[in-house]
Amino acid sequence: MSTDKFISYIGDPAGKTEVFKPGSWVKIVNPKSLMNCVSAGILMLCLATAGAMAQNPPETGDPYASRGNPKSPDGKYEWTVRTTNPIRYELVKVPDGNVVVTINAYYPDANNSNIQYAKAYGSFWNKDGTVVALDELNRRRAGHLYFFILRNGIVDEIRSENIFQIPLYANEGRVVVDPGWVSGTKIRVRQALKTRSGEFVSKYFTVDFANPDHLKIQPAAD
């Protein structure tokens, strides 16, 4: 599916709705209400936990642990990793076992190291099970992030590098899920960049799939 006709990118964050604005916590925590404070604390803890689970690469724990959930919310689809040559990801329709998507891993040659890498992927479904992000492990900007749109029995694929350009000041870049879906249609991602001077920079965006034929990409708060 061609992406050059339906991508809408808004490059200036001024005046735009952003996700997880630092100031938004002030609206949640009310110092006059202990219950509100406790609720806000629990919410922040949940968001932090979700973010830690989605971090790519993970900041703590096993760097090769899988992330997200391979199975769709309705249980009809599930991702599997095939470890025969070439190593590949398959999206399987659970009721009949039919494979609807096959994607070769970034390192497709079947050996122990590459199999370990492939199994460290992340699978992030929206709540309706109509869009899923397949996020390979980010190892020094290696790997790919794919989006798959499921509708009317057809699966459309979008590679993140086809909708996110590497800025001229950078010579390496990789888009990863961070931390994941922030609404039923929006997913927040991070563009990890290595500049030409050797610095590491992160830029955050949301990708809105409300209209799959016209994606909207907006800058987001870090």
For the stretch 25-49, pLDDT in tens is: 223 334 334 344 334 443 344 334 4
5 pLDDT higher than 50: no
Q: If pLDDT is split at 50, 70 and 90, which confidence band does 131 have?
A: very high
Q: pLDDT tens for residues 136-173?
A: 998 778 899 999 999 998 999 999 999 999 999 999 99
Q: What percent of the chain has pLDDT over 90?
A: 68
Handedness of CA 173, 107, 71, 149 (dihedral sign): positive
Arithmetic mean of pLDDT, 178-194: 97
Domain boundaries, the chain: 7-219
Res 135: pLDDT:
98
Arithmetic mean of pLDDT, 57-67: 82
Q: How far apart are CA 127 and CA 56, in angstroms?
A: 21
Q: How far apart are CA 64 and CA 106, in angstroms?
A: 15
Predicted TM-score (pTM) of the model is 0.77
Across the chain, what does the average pLDDT equal? Answer: 81
